[in-house]
Amino acid sequence: MGTDDDVPYGQGLVEAMMPFILSLLDGEVSERTARKHLGNLWLLGGEIIRNVSLYEEYDEMTPAEKLMQSIAPDEGPLCRHLSSESEQRSFDSTCGKLCRFLEIPKEEK
């Protein structure tokens, strides 16, 4: 958290990610894989919050809209906390999986 405005925005991101998080915890993947994805989601949320906070964009997009703008089916944003291409590939994999999950119409899940 950088400012007080970050808290509700972060809560909105968690709410938008929650269906995906619950699918990971339902045993769809191994515990180790779920932990990897959860760690990458934490990094993704941090990068989004940092950018929104730096540019004071709290009211420009909802957290869910900003989340979808930040990810693509095959990648996520460049993460400043990752120190290798391998870590970035893992992060991109999680972002892609989240993007594809969120783009599936709710009735199909």
State the pLDDT at residue 32: 96
State the pLDDT at residue 106: 53
State the pLDDT at residue 108: 54
Split the chain (109 residues) into runs of 10 and give each run's mean pLDDT. 86 98 92 97 97 92 96 95 96 97 69
Phi, psi of 104 (to 5 degrees): -75, 130
pTM above 0.75, yes or no: yes
Single-letter code of the amino acid located at 8: P
Measured distance CA(100)–CA(39) in Å, rounded: 18
Whether the CB-CB separation of 48 and 13 falls below 8 Å is answered with: yes
What string of DSSP letters covers the chain? --STTHHHHHHHHHHHHHHHHHHIIIIIS-HHHHHHHHHHHHHHHHHHHHHHHHTT-TTTS-HHHHHHHH-BTTB-PPPTT--SHHHHHHHHHHHHHHHHHHHS-GGG-
State the pLDDT at residue 2: 73
State the pLDDT at residue 109: 47
Hey, where are the domains in the chain? 6-104
